[in-house]
Structure formats: C-alpha cells, structure tokens
A and B are shown apart, each in its own frame.
Chain A
C-alpha cells in the first residue's frame, strides 16, 4: 500500500501547482478588465423592446453621442469608448442574464445607462459583488442612494426628491390637498408611492386614493375606478408612459378634471405623443435641464453631439440624461491617466468632488453618490411640446 501512496504523491503536487498557477494567472488577467489596447468597453442592459423601449433607446443614443464626441477628439489616451447594449425588456430576470454576460463574457469596464428600478435592483448586487461601476441608471430609487454600494454612481435626483417637489408645488401653488396616487405595481411604483406618502405626511395630509397596474401592461382601468372613488384634485403618477397616457385619457373620458403629475421616468416625449394633443394639464418633473435651453453649455454641446451622432434623432430629456452620463464618464476617465482601473474610477466618486460638465455641476463624496439634486417642472403644451415652468399655473 505504501507504493501506492508514493506513486500518487507527484500527481497531487502537480495538481496543486497547476491549480495555484491557474488562479494566479486568472487574477492577473482580471486586473485589466474592460480596458483594451485601443478601447474602453462599457455595457448597457436596458429595454429596447416593449413599453419602455423608447427610454432604453434614448439613453443609448445620448451615451453614444457623448462617446462619439470624445472618440472623434481622439478618445481617452488613444482609447475609444464603446458601448455594448442588450435588451432586457424591462424584465429583471433578463437583466440578470445580461449583466452576467456583459461582465463575464464581454468583460466590460463598467455598466452604464440601465433603465428601470426593478432591473437596477437585480443588477446592483451583481455589479457590487464584482466591483464593476454601475453608472447613471435611469431610476431615482432610494436604495441606489445607499453609499455602502461603492460601485453605484447616480447622476439624477431621486424619486423622493421628485415626489417632494410635486407635493410642494400642489400645496403651495394651488393649495390642493386631495392627492391620489397612480403607480406601477413594483419596486419603482412603490418607491414613488412611499415618496408621495412621506411628502404628504410632512404636511399632515394623506393620500385620498391609490390605484396600481401590472408592469408591462396598460390595464389601468381598475386603478382609475379606485382613484375616482377618492375624488382627488390631483393624481400623482408613477408609471410608464403607455399606461400613464391610457390612464389620463380614460380619466378624461370619465370627466375627471384633475391635475396629472408624472415622474421623470415616464418618458416625457413618449407620454406626450401617446396623449396625442390631449396633454394639457399634464405635468412632468424632470431631473435634467430643459433640452432646448441653449443657455447651458452642456445642453448646446448635447444638441451638437446629437446632430453629429444622428441628424434624424430628436432631442429630449432621456437622451440628454444619457449624454450627461456619457460626458461624466469621459470626465472621470480623463483623470485616471493611462491605466484606468475600476477601483480608481470608483475612488473618484468616494472622494468629495465636484465635476463641472459645462455649467452643470455634479457633486459627489461623503455620503452622496448622486451627482444632481435639482428637479425641473415641465408642462405639456397643446401642440405636444414641453415648456419649463417654475410653478403650477392656477
């Protein structure tokens, strides 16, 4: 039996050595993730099909416009920025699949421009575990504002800030107190609901009625009925554009004359189009400046970049948000020098720091992983276009 043991030993040693070798090799390879000879690769999982597809497409256009702008100027230290996008149809299980694929197979440097709260909720743990930066998700959900997740970089104001702005305007400008909430029955919708509830509670008010609908449907009629019960003066809406538009149309057909307040996530342009000229009295809060406001350098840059990117592309809030995310990435990478790493990227956000993107200041650091804090109120005009306003008209 001893002979047996002796003949086995070298095999064991060999296998031990090879295992340690392989793992060593693997770790050295991993340090350079997403950064290649002449390319820095970014990944996006967003909706490109289904009711939220317009959001995903616009985010992508905005990011690509910003990338093309820097690439035409020679890239970052000679490296081009590229974007690999996969469709998740606003569906969490598909989002998990996409995130794993982007990180493991495509080996991207960071994830950028994701769309939606439920998808972000599943992508965030994956990205945090692998220390992959998760930049500018198109959602204002508060769990992403938790600074324990060092890899998460938010650009936009939170839903809480938006809902607070709604209630502030309703109570201050119009003196209204009866507010109903229409929301999508998922984490996104509930986050908004919670936000409205808190904002009202601060003013000793309560929600008069609530109605919800299932994600990826436009089945809003039951919600409408329960909201009508409450006889609201205003309806706070946390939903996707198709369902929200359907709701507004039906409410109007039932003779409800109330104020409709929509969250930025709704997709303003799509909402206005769906409403087809019936958009008056519908308000949308935005988390980026008005995209036609040329007075801000970043907005005029954006318009120029979009025209360069695709002369046919329309300008809008969502693609502007995508553009700001893209510009932000460019700004951070410029500071990282020739060997950008994920850790270095993230540490730029951990420090107290302000990035000035052409008149738009993104402040980070301390307990803040969110660049912008402002909420902008807009109104849909009879011709379907938007107009920035400071207060709700009487």
Chain B
C-alpha cells in the first residue's frame, strides 16, 4: 500500500520525459509544416496551369476537333450523294447530310462560347452558311441527275422492249416475202412453160391438119385427072368411089380448119375443086357420057373434058398458091404467138423480181436500219460527254429518215400495220419531246453541275477545317506555355523540399540518439530483461531503475511488487504437489496387483512394490524411477526371472517392446518361479503407458488339468472309431444319434461278399501271412466301400456286409447304383491284389463272390442297453446273403429290384432264377457285367441278350484263331436259323 502511495506522490515529478519529447516532436512538426507549405505552393501552381489547359485549351481543342470531324464527315459524305443510284437512296443520304449539317451548326453554336472570340465565331458561321447553300445546290443537282438517270433507264428499258417487238414484227413480213417470192417465181415459170407447150402442140396439130388437107386435095386432084382420062366405066366408077370417100373426109377437115383458123383464103378453092367431082355435070358424069357416046359427040365431049382438065389444073395451081400463102401466114402467127407468150412470161417474172425482190430488199433494209437505230439509241444512253451526243443524233436522224421512207414504200406493197406501228414507236424514242438524246444531255449536264457543286462544298469544308486548325494551334500554344510555367515552379519546389527534408532528418537523428535511446529505451530494456527472468521462475532477480524518478522508476516499483507475490505463490504450490504425490503412491502401493506407469518418453514414473518385486526385487523403487522400459526388461532378463524368455532373450525382448508400443495389449508371462502373470498394458491419451500385473498361477494350474482330461477322452474315441462305422461314429460323436435302442424300416441296398474257399486257404498258408493278407484285403475293400459312401455293417471272418441308404441316403436308385459300382471296383481291385500277392509268393489267387439286393430292411441299434450294435436285419438282408451264396466264383449277382434301378447304367446279363428261404417264389437274378458307358462307342464288343439268345463277343481280346472259330460258329448258327425258318414256313 505504501508503495502505491509513493508512486502517486512521484507522478508529479515525472513530467520530464513528456516535456522533452514534446519539444523534439514540436520541432519536427514545424519542419513538416514548412515542407507542406512549399509543396502546397507548387501544387497550386501546377493545378493552376492544368486548369488553364483543361478549362480553356482542351475544350477549345476538342470543340475544334469535333468541328473538324463534323466538317470532314460532311466533306466525306457529300460524294455519297453523287454515288447514289436511285432517288430513295439519295433521299436517305440527303437526310444523313442534313443531320450532319444540323450537328455542325449546333457545334458552331456551342463552340462560340468556348472559343470566346467573336471574330472566329462570325467567320465559322459565315462558312457554315456557305456550306449549307452549296450542299443544297449539290443536293438539287444530284436530284436532277437522278431524275434524268431514272428517265434514261426507263427509256433504255423501253428501247430494248420495243427493239425486241420490232424484230418479232419484222420476222413475219420477211418470212412471207421470201416465201411469196419463191412460190410466185415457181408459179410463173411453171405457167410460162405450160402455155408455150400448149401453143406448140396446138400449132403443130393445126399444121398437120393443114398439110393433110393439102395432100388429100392433091389426091383428089389426081383422082379427078385420072377420071378425065379414064378409059373404062369400071375404072371411072372405082375412081368416083374413092373420090367420094376422100371428098367427105376433106370436107370435114376443111370445116374443122375453118372452125379453128377462121375463113382461110384457100378454103373456097378447095371446095371448088371438090365441086368439080360432084353434081350432075361432074367430071365423072361427063366422062361416063363421053365413054358412052360415039363419034362427034364423043369428040366434043372429049374436048370439053380437055377443057375441064385445064380448069382443074389451074384450080389446083391456084389452090397450092393460096395454100402456101396461108400456111406461111399460119407459121408466122405461131411464131408471133410464141414470142408474145414468152414475152409476157418474162414480163411477169421481171415484175415479180421488181416487186417481190424490192419488197424483200425493203424489209431486210428496214430491219438493218431498225437494228442500227436501236444500237445508236442504246449507245447514246452510255455516252460520257454532252459533245458526244450530237454525232449520234445526226446518225439517228439520217437512219430515221431512211426508215420512214422505207415504211412509206412498204405501206403500198405490204401493209403490216403492226410493223409500221412498232417501227414508229422505235423511232419515237429518238424523236419525241423528251427523247433519249435530250434526257442523256440533261443527265450529263446535271452530273457535271453536281460535280462542280461537290467541288465547291469540299472547298468550303476545307476552309472550315483551316479555320479550325488555326484555333487548335492557338490552343495548343497556350497550353504549352501553361505547362512550361508549372514545370518551373515544380523544379524550384523540389529543391526547397530537399533542404527541408534534410534538416528534418538531422533533427530526428539527434532526438533519437541524444535523448530517446539512452533515457527511455535502455532502461526499458533492463526492466524487460528482469521481467523475462521473473517469468522463467527466477524470483531472486533484482529490479533495476527503482531509483529513477520518472515513469521508468514507477514501472520498476510495480515489477518489484509483482516479484514478491510470485515468490509466495510458488512456495504454497510446492506444498500441495508433495501432498498429492504421497497420497497417490500409498494408494498404488495398497493394491495387490503390480502397477507401473511409464511417461510419454517411456521412462518409469510410478510403480508399486509388487511391480518392484517382479522386476527388480534387489533394487529400491526410487533408484529405478526414470529408467526406460527397455532397460528394466534387460535387467530382468539378466536376472532370469521370466520362464518364457529363457533361451530366446532377444526375441522375447523384441516381443515385449512391440506389445508395449502397441498401446493396448494383454498377455500372460510365465516366471521361473512358476508364477503365471497376466499383463494388461494400456496407452493413455498423452502417450504414457499404464500396466497392471496380476498373478494367475492358480487358474493356469486348473486349465492344465482340464486339458489333460480331454486329451484322454480324445484318445479313447479314436480307439473307438476303429470298431465303428464312420457314419455311426460321426452320428454318435456329433450327437445326431444318441445311441438309444431304436430302429426304423427303410429301403436299403445290401451287399454281401465272401472269399471262395477261404478255409482251404487257411490250411495252405501260414497264419501270419493270412492275417496280413486278410487285413490288407479288408482294409482295401473298406476304403473302396467308404469311397462309395457305403456303411460297413460288419466283417465276419472273410465276409463283408455293407449297406447303402443309412444313415445317409442319396435316393434308392443312386444307392443301388453306388453299391453296384462299388462291387465292380472291388472286383477290379481284388484282381490287382492277387497279382501283388502272387509276387510275394502266394500262388493261388483269392476269389470272391458278391451278392446285392435292394429292398426294405430294418436298420438301427440292436442289442442290450450295455452293448449295442448298429446293423440291418430283415428279408432284404437275407436275399442279399442268398445271392452271394449262389453266385459263381468271381461273380456279382444282383436281384431284380437292384437290376431295375441300375440297368440303364450297368450292363447285366446271365439272368437266372433262385429260391430263397422264406420266400415262396423263386427270384430272378442277374450277373453284373460292366459299366455301360465304357462300351458305348466300343465296336469291338457285341453283347446282346434276349429270349433264347445270348451273344457276347469281345473282338478286342480275341486271338486270330478265336476269331475264325467265332466266325464259323456264327455262320453255323445263321444256317441253322435259316433252315429252321424254312421248315416252319413249309
């Protein structure tokens, strides 16, 4: 308490450190303020110039750049207007352009406040106005151009349509003209030829007629002449007849001639000639008169006739004269006609050629001209300069005139109104008011105007750009000046700050080394040192600095109080621990078992005297505390206290250590003193080990006695097993059959076997050999029986009684089968045994017979309550015994019931009948021959048996002689059978 008061009293005097620190820090703060002022000044300068740049130059620049961008966009998109192909496209680009100009004017508006220069603003606005006007102009021109272009396209489209129509319209007339021309020509030439042909044929017919008339008349003349001088009436009459005939012919010819050729001059002459031979005073009449008359009269008549003759001659001459003139005339007229006909045909031909070919020519020229016109018109549509249009137009006009002329010419000959209309339509494309020439010209003019306007707009946009560029340059200059200024200020401030910083550093170093280190840190270090030692438990430490009058002195006082308290607490703790330890060891000491406690490092910490007695009876407990488990064990080994370890010390030690390490183990230890110690070791959570050692010698002794008893029992039962069937043995020792007198009826297969002539054998060989052989025989047979799951009932001397089906049954059929198989195996084994025995000197082999029966038997334990026998009795047993006794040597004989169960698997034969005592009727028996499977595929064995027939041939074992014999026998049998067959039939 007094110490606390002291601290309070002294607190008034401890302000010295506070004061010194306050002074030093105040000085440092002053320096910082100076540095801050300098920095503030330079920042102010920098921000000032940054402000100037950002508030003035940057907005100016960005406004100017925006302006430049907007004008550049306008300048760039103005040509878009030119590139537009349709009015809708144009409207769209125009709209875009309007938006851009509006943007531009807005930008100029906003930038005027930024630029803060009315002159520049005015200039910009002026340029904007100009630009707006020139763009309007451009837009108008482009619009005009597009209107014209679309008109031109329409006209061009129309042109190609009309041209196509024109060509189609041309096709019909040209086709007709060609066809008509050819066909008409053919027709005309055909007509000319036929008319000349006709004429020639007519004329030649006429001429023939002429000539025949002439020759006929000549004949008439000669007839008449002859008549004039006829010297007999008869001749005259003949001549007259001929004349009359000719005359009528000639008359007909003359009439036809007159009809055809008109009144020809020679016709009356001919007729006159004919008249001379006709009528009452014809030459004939007169000559007849002359012939009749005589004399003068005759003379007068003769003279008259002479006269008549001269008349005839002159008439004839006259006729010939006139005829030849006429004939010539006819010939001439024929010639004339022919010539006329030819002329007219030629004229028609030339007319056809004139008109038809002219028309064809016209049509073809019209088509060519039309194509030319269409070509000119379509070329005009793509002419690139207005000057180029004129020549085309002139060519078009010339062609158009020609076409019109041709159409007019054509109109007279072939009036195809469609062709006419279409041709005019074609021409109209180049002639009507808004013709293609005018359209193309206007289009080209509009294009050039638009190009010009575009140039102007671009110029204006460029001038805008230059104004803006100047503005940008000014702004840049201003911002550069501002930046330079701030740069200077920053430089100066940098030096000043360096000086201030250095001064602050010096001051701080002085305060550190001159004041803080010796006066504060050192004493604190001393006190800390003292506190550390105190904490480590060193309560004797001296506290430094208690003499000081400041805050350090107070701290040292407080520490001294703490130290004194610590000393007191330590002492009281010691007392309590000592008490606890004493109580624990007396508790451990009082238990009867040995107890040990090894700490986590495996050193003995606590143990009681029982433990000491077990491991180090000669040492004191205290001397062993702290030793390791291993060391203690090694000591114990040296003293030979552990029985288990004798002779295998290292091994045992390793085992013990292993158990100890495992943590939780329990084992028994045998001591040389005869003690049995049960050791229980447990690991605790902190890794230490607790072990308890209990003495169990008494319990161990009792265990050994029990084990001895049970061993004796086991030996007993093993002895017993030899006299009992293993099944019976098992059922007794496993508790299934309690050994009660009990029996039950069950279907079993019973087996009997017996050695043939055993009595004779006993006489022949020594009894030692006999015992050996008999035992070997019975042992082998019982092994086979057991292997087949049989229950061996008993041995009666050399006979063996075995049954299947109890205590375990596999089913009646399976039991019977197992029994038969066992019998076969026994038979086989016996043969082998005989060979063995023969080697050892027993000449005569032992033969046995076997009998098997399946039937109901009584099975169970028979006998008194002291002595029982597990066996079978009943009729089934008797039958089996009987079968064995009737069997031939080496034979296995089975009853019918057994046969029925095994016949599928076992081959049997040699059917027989036998009687059994107690059974009224004889029973059927069979001999077991072999397993069926073994001969299934064997072709060397033929075995068949039915009524009156029995065949058993084994080819494999047959010798050649035997084979021949068998063959002869079978042949003989066959012959007999055939004979018998023949007999029975007859």
Residues of A within 8 A of B (CB): 1, 3-4, 213-214, 216-222, 224-225, 250, 254
Contacts and interface: CB of A to CB of B under 8 A. Distances in A.
Contacts of A1: 65
A3 B176 CA distance: 81
A3 B168 CA distance: 68
Given A3-B62, A3-B65, A4-B65, A222 B179 contact: yes
Contact of A217 (B62, B172, B178, B182): B172
A1 B61 CA distance: 10
Q: Lowest 7 A-B CB distances belong to which pairs?
A: A221-B179, A219-B175, A219-B171, A217-B171, A221-B175, A214-B171, A222-B178
A216 B167 CA distance: 11
B564 interface: no
B179 A224 contact: yes
A218 B69 CA distance: 67
B174 interface: yes
Nearest to A4: B65
Residue among A1, A217, A220, A221 with the highest chain B CB neighbour number at 10 A: A221
Given A3-B61, A214-B168, A219-B172, 6 more contacts: A219-B171, A219-B175, A221-B178, A222-B179, A224-B179, A225-B178
Nearest to B173: A219
A255 to B, nearest CB: 12
Contacts of A219: 171-172, 174-176
A35 to B, nearest CB: 32
Nearest to B172: A219
A254 B175 CA distance: 16
B175 A222 contact: yes
Main secondary structure of the interface of B (DSSP, over half): helix
A224 B176 CA distance: 11
B167 to A, nearest CB: 8
Nearest to B69: A4
A219 B61 CA distance: 79
A47 to B, nearest CB: 15
A222 to B, nearest CB: 5
A196 B176 CA distance: 28
Contacts of A220: 175
A222 B172 CA distance: 10
Contacts of A221: 175-176, 178-179
Which of B167, B171, B172, B174 has the most C-beta atoms of chain A within 10 angstroms of its own C-beta?
A: B171
Nearest to B169: A217
Indicate the size class of the contact surface on chain B. 10 to 19
Interface string B33-71: 000000000000000000000000000011001000100
Contacts of B167: 214
A3 B174 CA distance: 76
Contacts of A250: 179
Contacts of A225: 178-179, 182
A222 B65 CA distance: 77
A217 B168 contact: yes
Interface string B173-187: 011101100110000
Contacts of A217: 168, 171-172, 175
B73 to A, nearest CB: 11
Nearest to A218: B172
A214 B183 CA distance: 21
B99 to A, nearest CB: 15
A254 B182 CA distance: 12
Contacts of B65: 1, 3-4
Contacts of A224: 179
Contacts of B179: 221-222, 224-225, 250
11 contacts: A3-B65, A4-B65, A4-B69, A213-B175, A217-B172, A219-B174, A219-B175, A219-B176, A222-B174, A222-B178, A250-B179
Contacts of B178: 221-222, 225
Contacts of B171: 213-214, 217, 219
A29 B174 CA distance: 54
Q: Which of B69, B175, B178, B182 has the most CB of A within 10 A?
A: B175
A214 B168 CA distance: 8
B178 to A, nearest CB: 5
Given A4-B65, A225-B182, A216 B168 contact: yes
A214 B164 CA distance: 12
A82 to B, nearest CB: 31
A1 B174 CA distance: 75
B107 to A, nearest CB: 13
A214 B166 CA distance: 13
A222 B174 CA distance: 9
Nearest to A219: B175
Contacts of B172: 217-219
A219 to B, nearest CB: 3
A4 B468 CA distance: 15
A362 B220 CA distance: 97
A216 B183 CA distance: 25
Contacts of A222: 174-175, 178-179
A112 B174 CA distance: 38
Nearest to A216: B168
Nearest to B177: A221
A183 to B, nearest CB: 15
A214 B176 CA distance: 14
Contacts of B174: 219, 222
Task: Determine which residue in A217, A218, A219 has the highest number of CB atoms from chain B within 10 A of its CB, and name it.
Answer: A219
A220 B176 CA distance: 9
Contacts of B176: 219, 221
B527 to A, nearest CB: 65
A334 B309 CA distance: 122
A217 B176 CA distance: 12
Contacts of B61: 3
A242 B120 CA distance: 82
A213 B178 CA distance: 13
A4 B64 CA distance: 11
A220 B174 CA distance: 10
Nearest to B178: A222
A194 to B, nearest CB: 24
A213 B65 CA distance: 71
Contacts of B175: 213, 217, 219-222
Nearest to B179: A221
A157 B167 CA distance: 34
A250 B183 CA distance: 12
A1 B183 CA distance: 88
Contacts of A254: 183
A151 B636 CA distance: 106
A158 B16 CA distance: 125
A49 to B, nearest CB: 14
Interface in B142-199: 167-168, 171-172, 174-176, 178-179, 182-183
Contacts of B183: 254
Interface in B176-231: 176, 178-179, 182-183
Contacts of A218: 172
Nearest to A254: B183
Contacts of B168: 214, 216-217
A310 to B, nearest CB: 33
Contacts of A214: 167-168, 171
A380 to B, nearest CB: 25
A300 B62 CA distance: 84
A243 B273 CA distance: 73
Nearest to B65: A4
A120 B178 CA distance: 33
A314 to B, nearest CB: 29
A389 B834 CA distance: 108
A222 B178 CA distance: 7
A219 B174 CA distance: 8
A4 B67 CA distance: 11
A4 B73 CA distance: 13
A215 to B, nearest CB: 9
A1 B172 CA distance: 74
A213 B172 CA distance: 10
A225 B632 CA distance: 145
A214 B65 CA distance: 68
